[in-house]
Amino acid sequence: MSKITSSDVAKLAGVSQSAVSRVFSGASASKATQEKVRRAATELGYRPNVLARSLITGRSRIIGLVVAYLENPFYPDVLERMSKALQAEGYHTLIFMASWTSDVDRVLEELLDYQVDGIIAASVALSDGLIDRCRGAGIPIVLFNRGQEEGGLTQVTCANRAAGAAVAQHLMATGHEKIAHVSGWEGSMTGRDRAAGFAEALAADGRDLKVLPGDYDREKAAAAACELVDGGADAIFVGNDHMAFGVIDALRHERGIAVGKDVSVVGFDDVPMAAWPSYDLTTWQQPSGQMVEAAVDRMMALIEGDASPQRVEIEGRLIQRGSSRKET
C-alpha cells in the first residue's frame, strides 16, 4: 500500500493542500474546512508528518530530559510529573540516561542531533563547552535538582542549605548528643549545600560533626552508618532517602539497633517508600510537584525568548515519622 499524503486528503475533502496544512498546523481555517479535512484524514488513515513540519517551523516540540541515578525512587516520580507537565504545554519528551560524570557530554551531543527545543538535566552537571554549544544553537537548558556555579544556567532546586539546618535543629531539639551525617556525592552541589547547612547549624550550637561519604550509594551509606554508630553516634542525617533505607536496614539487621529509639535516622526527599511501615522514615520533603512546575515554567519562558538565567529555590518541610525521636 502506498503512503497516504496530504494531497490525498485534500482531494477527498475537496480542499487545497495548503488548507490541509493549515488545519494540522493549527493555523487559521474555518470550522467547515477543519471538519472536512479531519473527516477525510480519518477515512484515509492519514497522520501528519511531525518531523517534516518541524523542519519548516524550526520547532520540534520535543524537550530532552537527561537523568542519572534512576535507582533513586525520587527520579522516576519526577520524570512522570515532568512528562505530564510538558505534555500539557504541547511538548513531547525524549529521555536519555547518563552517569553523573563520565558520559554526560556524549549523551547531550546525541540529544542535540534530535533537534530538541530545550534540555532539562536532572542530577547531572554540564561542561562549559557543551553549554556554549547549546547557547550557540539557541537551545535553552534548565538544571533540575542540581546546582552549578559555572555557565550561568537556570536551575531549580529545593532550598537545600536551609533544609540541612532545619534537620540539625530537629535532631538537637530531640535531645541527641552525638549527631553525624552520611553525605551524598561531593560533586553534587545540592548534596554539598545540605551538608553545609547541617554543619553550620550544629557549629552554631558549639557541636562537632562527624561526616562520612555515602556517595548516593545504598551499600556505601549503610557501611558508613555502621561505622558512625560504632563510634557512638546517636543520630544520623542521611543525604537522601535512597541511602537512608540502606542505613535503616543495616542498623537493624547488622547491629541490632532499634531505629527511632536507640539511634535516630533522618533522610531527604520523602519518596513514597519513606511512608512504608517497614521504614517509617523521618525525612525532609522535597516539593517535587512545585519544583517540576517551576522547571517547566522556566523552560517555556526560555523557549519564548526570556534569556535571563534564574536560580529558583523552593522550601520543603520536615515529615516526622518513627525513625527519629519526636520533638516535645
Answer yes or no: are the C-beta atoms of 313 and 273 closer than 8 Å.
Answer: no
> For 201-213, how does the pLDDT look when each residue is reduced to its tens digit (9 = 90+)?
999 999 999 999 9
Q: Residue 304: CB partners within 8 Å, gap ≥ 6?
A: none
> For 4-35, how does the pLDDT look when each residue is reduced to its tens digit (9 = 90+)?
888 888 899 999 888 887 887 666 788 898 89
What pLDDT, on the 0 to 100 scale, is given for residue 324? Answer: 97
What pLDDT, on the 0 to 100 scale, is given for residue 242? Answer: 96
Task: Give the three cell numbers for residue 135.
Answer: 547557547
What is the average pLDDT across 62-72? Answer: 87
For residues 214 and 99, the model is more confident at: 214
Query: Is pLDDT above 60 for 49?
Result: yes
Return mean pLDDT, the chain. Answer: 89
* Alpha helices, H only, the chain: 6-13, 17-25, 31-44, 50-57, 74-88, 104-112, 128-136, 160-173, 189-204, 218-230, 241-255, 288-303
Q: What distance in Å separates the CA atoms of residue 47 and residue 31, rounded to the nearest whole number?
A: 19
What pLDDT, on the 0 to 100 scale, is given for residue 97? Answer: 84
Taking the model in full, what pTM does it have?
0.82
> For 298-326, how does the pLDDT look when each residue is reduced to its tens digit (9 = 90+)?
999 999 887 788 999 999 999 999 999 98
The secondary structure of 144-198, three-state, reads: ECCCCCCCCCEEEEECHHHHHHHHHHHHHHCCCCCEEEEECCCCCHHHHHHHHHH
Task: With CA atoms as reference, report the closest residue to 317 among 271, 268, 259.
Answer: 268
What is the average pLDDT across 40-55? Answer: 73
Q: How many H-runs (helices) and E-runs (strands) does the chain carry?
A: 12, 12
Phi-psi sector, 266: left (phi>0), alpha (psi -120 to 50), beta: beta
Residues, the chain? 328
* Amino acid in position 112: L
Task: Give the three cell numbers for residue 77.
Answer: 516520580
Q: Strand 118-122 vs strand 62-67: parallel, antiparallel, or unpaired?
A: parallel
What is the average pLDDT across 42-62? Answer: 70
Task: With CA atoms as reference, report the closest residue to 66 among 124, 115, 139.
Answer: 124
What is the average pLDDT across 153-170? Answer: 96
CATH 3.40.50.2300 domain position(s) in the chain: 62-158+288-315, 160-286
The residues that bridge with 134 in the sheet, in sequence order, are none
* CATH class in words for 160-286: alpha beta
What pLDDT, on the 0 to 100 scale, is given for residue 103? Answer: 67
Q: Residue 12: CB partners within 8 Å, gap ≥ 6?
A: 40, 43, 44
Q: Which CATH number is 62-158+288-315 given? A: 3.40.50.2300
What is the average pLDDT across 239-262? Answer: 96
Task: Give the three cell numbers for residue 12.
Answer: 477527498
> For 80-124, how does the pLDDT look when each residue is reduced to its tens digit (9 = 90+)?
999 999 999 988 898 888 776 556 777 777 777 778 899 998 888
Q: 109: helix, coil or strand?
A: helix
What pLDDT, on the 0 to 100 scale, is given for residue 195? Answer: 96
- Residue 34 CB neighbour total at 10 angstroms: 15
Radius of gyration of the chain from Cα atoms?
25
